[in-house]
Structure 1
Amino acid sequence: MKKLIFCSILPLLVIGCTTIRQGEVGVKRRLGKLDPTVKGSGVHTYNPFTTTIIKVPTRTINLPLALENIPSKEGLNITAEMAVLYRVLPEKAPEVLSTIGDRYENVVIVSVFRSAAADVCARFFAKDMYTGQREEIEKEIAAEMHTVLEKRGIVVESVLMKSIQLPKGLAQSIEQKLEAEQQAQQMEFVLMKERKEADRKVIEAKGIADSQKIISEGLNKQLIEYKTIEAFRQLATSPNAKIIITDGKTPMLINPTNP
């Protein structure tokens, strides 16, 4: 009986168990040979004497990198802190392990990044890395890396420039130039605003002049006499006491209550 129980428990003692979490896949290596079928998230058993399960992250990985002496277009050396966002295609995990190995970051990604960064930065001036051209540089580096690594099963999502260190004196001159450009843009805005205000005043003055011209052209002797009669009529119906002196054409009102 004891021998039977021991024989029943023995297989359980030689069974290995591992858990694959979300954001990673497992690849079995049995007797040195990789299984092309990947294991998804969950609990998986294996024979620890003949098999191992290699876990490969498939989520987006942020790989920080520091570069020194990057050549610029004018031959200056730039120091930069950058980061590469990449991920491994789940179905390509066995191929990545078989062709590159589990140290694919150092073997392939870092090497390809340094080459792409040097190639792209050499096409731009140092000031471009410090100003609005930075986004274009990031995109071009990511595109070159993606072209090389996608067929290897690695997708480069983006490249980010965290900081750029320019040669001494160059950064200060660039900042001064940017400040001067901003001041020039601000002055241009002020001048444009003043020009618009001047145009508005010209249009307003022209409108007033045209209005006065229309009124003066519309006045005639009969209309003036009619307006005079209307003025007399309104004064006559007013309840307040008043003295009106007129030559029959233009009324002059004298208010007797005023001192």
Structure 2
Amino acid sequence: MFAKKSAPIGTIFSIAAVGLFLLFGLGSCSNPSTPAGHEGYVYEKPRMFGSGGYQGSLQGPSNYGMSVLRNEIINIDMRPNTYTEKFRILANDDLNIVFDFHAVVSIRSGTVKAVVENYGGEHWYERFVRETFRTYVRNAVQKFDSGELKARRDDIGKEVTTKLQTYLNATPFEVKNIVVGNINYPDIVAKAVEKKLAAQQLLSEKETQKQIAKKDAEIRIEEAKGIAQAQKIINSTLTENYLQHEAINAQLKMAESPNHTTVYIPVGTNGMPLVKGLK
């Protein structure tokens, strides 16, 4: 009697075990995916069986597909991204200069496996690029005095770009552009520059005033020359005979007037009237 009842119970347990196994298997299936602009590094984390390790790569947007293996994925952004580094560096004249440096770096397509296995995966910039980049910037900046940095900004950027491109040449990484950000000088330098600019402005104003005064003096000299020349001409033409001629003409005109009385007084050679003494 008891043997006949044990068969159905065993069957139930077997079915339940198979069901649990299938449920566990389906629940543990994975379907890794990669978004646009990324590449995915698919790898297996074995449970009780499987070799583990690299399984393949994806170019987003895409899915790897359902798998009973415990597949996981590391997605790497392959697009150009800007990495900003802040600096406080002693220039050649021992002044602390504060500024930013921006590097635009992308990852070459199809290199996600190398990025993950050889360069730190998602942390490739911090582990492989950052410190070298900062070293190149420091070396380039410290060659110049603080006052030269703004004028030599392009030269510094080109030098750092060339060195970083050479360093990354045989790697998955590609330098797209490097830009020097704002350069901030210490307060003492900023105030000195302001004073210098103010002095230059004042000097420019004084020079302008000097030129105006010089032109005014030249005008007055020319005016004086004109007056002197006119006076010279007048003096050369006012002879004694000319003056006497003009005086006679004036007297003739006065004599023609009906309301005019003319009195002639004899004068001496000195032009004074002759006075006869009384006896």
Q: TM-score scaled by structure 2?
A: 0.55
Q: Is the counterpart of residue 43 in structure 1 residue 63 in structure 2?
A: yes
Q: Is the counterpart of residue 84 in structure 1 residue 98 in structure 2?
A: no
Contact 2:32 2:72 in 1 (8 A): no
CA shift for structure 1 position 165: 2.1
Q: Give the structure with higher Rg (CA).
A: 2
- Separation in 1 of the partners of 2:24 and 2:113? 32
- Separation in 1 of the partners of 2:116 and 2:168? 14
- Separation in 1 of the partners of 2:78 and 2:160? 22
Q: Is the counterpart of residue 22 in structure 1 residue 41 in structure 2?
A: no
Contact 1:21 1:42 in 2 (8 A): yes
Contact 1:15 1:45 in 2 (8 A): no
Contact 2:26 2:68 in 1 (8 A): no
Contact 1:27 1:39 in 2 (8 A): no
- Separation in 2 of the partners of 1:95 and 1:183? 63
**Residues 8-19 of structure 1 aligned to structure 2 (within 5 Å):** 11-19=25-33
Q: Is the counterpart of residue 171 in structure 1 residue 185 in structure 2?
A: no
Work out which of the residue numbers 58, 68, 75 in structure 1 matches 2:78.
58
Relative to structure 1, the CA distance from residue 164 to residue 6 in structure 2 (aligned partners, 3 Å threshold; closer, same or farther) is same
Aligned residue for 1:119? 139
- Separation in 2 of the partners of 1:92 and 1:16? 24
The letter of the residue matching 1:132 is A
CA shift for structure 1 position 116: 0.7
Aligned residue for 1:132? 151
Contact 1:61 1:87 in 2 (8 A): yes
**Percent identity of equivalent pairs:** 17
Contact 2:114 2:172 in 1 (8 A): yes
Contact 1:138 1:158 in 2 (8 A): no
CA shift for structure 1 position 55: 0.3
1:153-194 Cα shifts (integer Å, max 9, x gaps): 111222223222223322343456578889999xxxx9xxxx
Contact 2:40 2:58 in 1 (8 A): yes
Q: Secondary structure at the match of 1:106?
A: helix
Q: How many residues matched?
A: 187
Contact 2:105 2:175 in 1 (8 A): yes
1:98-148 Cα shifts (integer Å, max 9, x gaps): 11212112212221121011111122222232x332122122222222221
The letter of the residue matching 2:174 is V
The letter of the residue matching 2:110 is E
Contact 1:127 1:174 in 2 (8 A): no
Work out which of the residue numbers 138, 141, 155 in structure 1 matches 2:160.
141
Contact 1:38 1:90 in 2 (8 A): no
Aligned residue for 1:158? 177
Contact 2:34 2:63 in 1 (8 A): yes
CA shift for structure 1 position 42: 1.4
Provide structure 2 residue ranges, at least 5 long, that are not aligned to the other structure: 1-14, 46-51, 209-279
Q: Secondary structure at the match of 1:98?
A: helix
Q: TM-score scaled by structure 1?
A: 0.58
- Separation in 1 of the partners of 2:31 and 2:64? 6
**Residues 184-223 of structure 1 aligned to structure 2 (within 5 Å):** none
- Separation in 1 of the partners of 2:187 and 2:125? 33
More deviation, 111-120/166-175: 166-175
